[in-house]
Structure 1
Amino acid sequence: MLDIQVKARRINLLLFVSAKQEQALAEILSLSTDYSCFLVAEEQVSLAHPHLYYDAAVFKLFADSGATISAFICDCNLKISHVFSASDVLELRNLLPRFEELPYLGDPPPVLLVPNVISEELAQRLIANL
């Protein structure tokens, strides 16, 4: 089962490819992209890969019936940022947007100070409960 929630903080590419397109599935699994790539097919194929999942209901819900490949790009917050369809792997590669991943500098998150939000009485009660 594909649990997309644990894939946050990375840009994910969800691809829906028919099991009848086994050659396309094999080509996509060998692609090198900037994305974490996950494939969903409607039925099991002879390929074995940790990023290949089988679920007919999910496939039917998301796959474009007129396209060979249906693609969804999810940003780091798991929001769908791009949706497109491709007829083959070459077209898929050309449609994938390029992105630059910003390096993590180890800076702590900013702190917002808002004065006078807590009354003196509430502050004393909170301190007493520590």
Structure 2
Amino acid sequence: MNRGSPTPETVTLHVPFRVVKRGGRKEMQLPEGAAQARRTDNTLVKALARAFRWKRMLESGDFATIAELAEHEGIAPSYMTRVLRLTLLAPYIVETVLDGAQGAEVTLGRLLEPFPIKWEEQLLAAPPQAEHTRWKGEKLK
């Protein structure tokens, strides 16, 4: 457009995106290849924080059993057990979630499903785009 041409009354802009649910919220997901800002999933971060807090409370001896702690927290013991399992995630997965670099397929619901205990096996199930390091700090090939 140059200065001499008239300005159109209507401008149509097409932006391809999808609306997906993440952690009970709706989020706009851009197509592959589009640059996306990293966004921390607060639901995942809160679940990780709870898991490590509860683990600390159990290890300190404040509560003798998961059932006792669950009653104190006012939640079901089965839910607490599933959330506590998040403390067994490999450090690179925890870091990825805290950095907001996890893929859209990584949700709390998916992380609460059973997963391998060995970190190397968790690595095989991780999204391919993430750069991973072993817990010793060495790069994986």
Q: Same fold (TM over 0.5)?
A: no
Q: Which has the higher helix share?
A: 2
Q: TM-score by structure 1 length? A: 0.23
**Relative to total residues, which structure has the larger strand share, 1 or 2?**
1
The higher-RCO structure (CA 8 Å, 6+ apart) is: 1
